[in-house]
Structure 1
Amino acid sequence: MRLVTQRFADFACDAGRRDLPDMVIEKTQRAILDTIAALLGGVPTENARLSRIAARACFGAGAAHAWFAEAGLHPLGALFANCAAASSLDVDDGHCLAAGHPGAAIVPAVLMEAARLGSDGRDVLTATALGYDVALRIAAARRFTDTMSFASGQWTGFGVAAAIGWLRGMQVDQLAHALAIAGPEAPQNLPQGDCQASSVKGSSPWSTVSAVFAAGRAEAGMSGSIDLLDRAHAYDVGALTADLGSRWLIAETYLKPYAACRYTHPVIDAVLALVADRDPGLPIDRLVVEIFPEARKLPNEIAPKSLEGGQFSVPFAAALAALRGAAAFRPLRPCSLMDPEVVALAAKVEIRYPHDLAGIFPRRTPARVTMVAGARERVIDVPLPLGDANNPMDDLAVGEKLHDLGRDILSRAELDQLIRSVGLLKQGEIAPLLICLAAQPSAEQ
């Protein structure tokens, strides 16, 4: 009987002989556009800027681009920088059952490899869909424990290796060993501490770089433990390949309208609804947030000192949404961290973890928020935050997200051209998109 890595390799190598369903093409194209939007917004952050500096120092010079920022980087350094930018604002896509984020790793790797190989736009869509499917199946099939880390870098490398291997036309046995090397050599994140949020994020940059290197080593003849996914204590082995080729997990991903941890999104949705018809003359006396117990793992700083701290704080996100609206998250800016009214309201946010919301994560990420203003108390439940696969953002919404996140980097005309260039991928054209990605910042800062 074929091992799971071999079955994934069979699936990937056979993909070129099948047409992707129209729905999968549509979802994949949207995922690519959404990841580019996240990357654009992340480019000016300290996390991305320092990653570019370190990438140049560690990998040296070359002919590759850190998109929308600078040229002259080694390809691996540029890949690291692009992945860091795409994940810096925590506004990149995700999957509920996987409890993490595939796009920030897989999309930059596919686009850079396709550019290197001279692949066409249809190849980009196929490789991306394959990468998502392999990575998300592995992540979703893990045996979850209370103490595990949910860092996406632990599993995104599987998808990167699958996508890169397919683009390179690797043989089945080589691709199976690429997966077997990429998985164990990914960053093995420990659960993060409670003192502050980390700019390291989900370790997607290192996971992606190590997966590309794993593919190269497998091509050269190196081997890995190809039975690593056939371990029932670690994975639901049957779920790994269930409906493989007919159920595409990229169709189940969520997109994020706000630059903040997904745990905060139902809270933001609820608060925005609560303040929509509030008498602006009445101050908010108190906000009570009821949320699933896994949110205890967030630092939840009242007065965060970094963007990461703001992204991973339920009370800060609730207060910012209440006082400054959705625009304050598109993107989240350092100046919001120093807003005294927001910090004062964040101190009035009470977080509860009720029994009726236990056992729901990661299948769903709901929240219930109560707002007390004057003598009025109102409650709103949000079972599915905006962007969920069952409450989706459409192409227009993703385009608006790109404009909001990219307006400090590119002009409106350049942003419109970027959207059009992603739409050309299904026609086989990739050159217009590559030209857009190499654009230097032109909008007024």
Structure 2
Amino acid sequence: MSEPLLVQLVRTLARPITESDRARARLHLLDWLACVAGARQTQVAKVLYQADLGGARRAGWLGGVLEMDDVHRSALLHPGPVIWAAALEAAGDVDADLDAVLDGAVRGYQAMIAIGASFDAKHYAHYHNTATAGPFGAAAAAGSVLGLDEAQLVAALSNAGSTTGGLWQMRHEAGMTKQWHVAMAGNNGYFAAYMASRGLTGTASVLEGPQGLYAATCAAPKPLELDAGWRIHEVSFKPWAACRHAHPVIDCALELRAQGKLTAPFRVETYADAIAFCDRPNPVTEVNAKFSLQHAVAVIASGREARPEDFTPEAIAELAALRAEVSVSEDKAITMRYPEHFGARLNGLELIDTRGDPERPVDEAVIKQKMHTLAAWGGLPPEEAERACALALEGDDAAAIADLLEDWLG
């Protein structure tokens, strides 16, 4: 009888982590800090300021608010907002340095992506993969920072996964449930690791068991890939403040605009999930607009850059006429390439991959500029953006990052 999947996964997390892996993790840390900074003045943040939470704990709610958080395509999830908050909270427990946090993040991304990529279409139709795979990743990240042994780490992942959830119904109603999903995934994973360090045991077959996660939520789960390299290198950065399913058409629109060829009417052809999630010709709220292919095209056609201010109620009202010029349909060939490739065609111009993907990477300068842009949107002065860049890209002090978040959000 083969060993439980979580045991096999945890053993792969003990592989060496190189300076190249840590350098990649630093970029994702800065990217997450940028997303947190930009969300400081959102309605979600205003709710959090009424709660008795520290800055680092509040940050765990905010990394995905602007829809600019990093994303793994085939796993269909956003690791950054879940992993970093859990790793930093664990670091505070044991006074860990930043290298320990970076290593924990690399392992957390690995566990979260591996499990998320094993979910099938039935799962994604009803469950928010960031919420269902997230607790596993947060437990792996926190457990690494806390120095858990193999048995403890298996217990942490199994207990975190045993209470996983996150229904997509929240997409159909106004509310802050998506941020609740992210925060609970990080919190549950961290606490599962903390309790495992105190001796709490778990159920290792929580994935594949007869009443486990796969049986409950999947029709045909995919194999758990255990022999890949560190998968943080597969994660995409998001340049624009919209749902990732809208990014391919934004990229097409920018290319056409640069060529002087972005003219109405606008014909969008893309993959089925992009339409299922983002076919919203008449968005009402800011969240609706971020999940609207029609609004995404209108934003770029109007000369804007798909920044947070381009999805506000004011922008929604101003761009109504342009949205009415956009038609949306599925192209089955593009759907067949998904989710390994998020592509789109706009007025005949097709892009298979999108800026920020590993095939079309952005460099450190782009992430630093994102930090500056979002810090300004969140009401922070330029020196705070520089502070974040220095701590994330050059520093070795995890406590200094916790202090930064306290200053921003405390």
Same-fold call, TM cutoff 0.5? yes
The question of whether the paired residues in 2 share the 8 Å contact of 1:37 and 1:401 is answered with yes
The corresponding residue for 2:6 is: 5
The question of whether the paired residues in 2 share the 8 Å contact of 1:196 and 1:309 is answered with no
Deviation per residue, 1:264-293 (Å, 9 max, x gap): 1110111112222438xxx94311100001
The question of whether the paired residues in 1 share the 8 Å contact of 2:55 and 2:402 is answered with no
The corresponding residue for 2:290 is: 311
Does residue 27 (structure 1) correspond to residue 6 (structure 2)? The answer is no
Aligned match for 2:273, one of 294, 306, 310: 294
Q: What is the letter of the counterpart of residue 266 of structure 1?
A: P
Deviation per residue, 1:332-364 (Å, 9 max, x gap): 452544442x11111221001022222222111
Distance in 1, matches of 2:283 and 2:222, equals: 41
More strand by share: 1
Distance in 2, matches of 1:197 and 1:314, equals: 18
The question of whether the paired residues in 2 share the 8 Å contact of 1:197 and 1:312 is answered with no
Does residue 182 (structure 1) correspond to residue 179 (structure 2)? The answer is no
For residue 411 of structure 1, report the CA deviation from its aligned partner.
1.4
The corresponding residue for 1:165 is: 143
Equivalent pairs counted in the alignment come to 398
Moved more, 331-340 or 312-321: 331-340
Which stretches in structure 1 are left out of the alignment for 5+ residues? Answer: 67-78, 371-378
Q: Would the alpha carbon gap of residues 347 and 393 (structure 1) be closer, same or farther in structure 2, given more than 3 Å must change?
A: same
Does residue 251 (structure 1) correspond to residue 236 (structure 2)? The answer is no
More helix by share: 2
Secondary structure at 1:119 match in 2: coil
The corresponding residue for 1:385 is: 354
Secondary structure at 1:290 match in 2: strand
Describe how 1:35-434 pairs up with structure 2 within 5 A: 35-53=32-50, 56=51, 60=52, 64-65=54-55, 79=57, 81-145=58-122, 147-186=125-164, 188-192=165-169, 195-196=172-173, 199-201=176-178, 203-230=181-208, 234=218, 238-243=223-228, 247-278=229-260, 284-298=263-277, 300-326=279-305, 328-330=306-308, 332-340=310-318, 342-370=319-347, 379-408=348-377, 409-425=379-395, 428-434=396-402
What TM-score do you get using the length of structure 2 for normalisation?
Answer: 0.89
Secondary structure at 1:350 match in 2: strand
Distance in 2, matches of 1:343 and 1:435, equals: 43
Q: What is the letter of the counterpart of residue 49 of structure 1?
A: K
Q: What is the letter of the counterpart of residue 241 of structure 1?
A: L
Percent of aligned pairs with the same residue?
24
For residue 94 of structure 1, report the CA deviation from its aligned partner.
0.7
Distance in 2, matches of 1:333 and 1:285, equals: 20
Q: Would the alpha carbon gap of residues 359 and 192 (structure 1) be closer, same or farther in structure 2, given more than 3 Å must change?
A: farther
Distance in 1, matches of 2:66 and 2:174, equals: 12
For residue 240 of structure 1, report the CA deviation from its aligned partner.
3.1
For residue 196 of structure 1, report the CA deviation from its aligned partner.
4.7
The question of whether the paired residues in 1 share the 8 Å contact of 2:35 and 2:68 is answered with yes
Deviation per residue, 1:38-73 (Å, 9 max, x gap): 1111221112322443xx1xxx46xx325xxxxxxx
For residue 178 of structure 1, report the CA deviation from its aligned partner.
1.0
Which stretches in structure 2 are left out of the alignment for 5+ residues? Answer: none
The question of whether the paired residues in 1 share the 8 Å contact of 2:265 and 2:326 is answered with yes
Q: Would the alpha carbon gap of residues 398 and 380 (structure 1) be closer, same or farther in structure 2, given more than 3 Å must change?
A: same
Greater Rg, structure 1 or structure 2? 1
Flag as ranges the 4+ runs of structure 1 deviating above 4 A: 193-198, 231-238, 330-333
Distance in 2, matches of 1:318 and 1:300, equals: 12
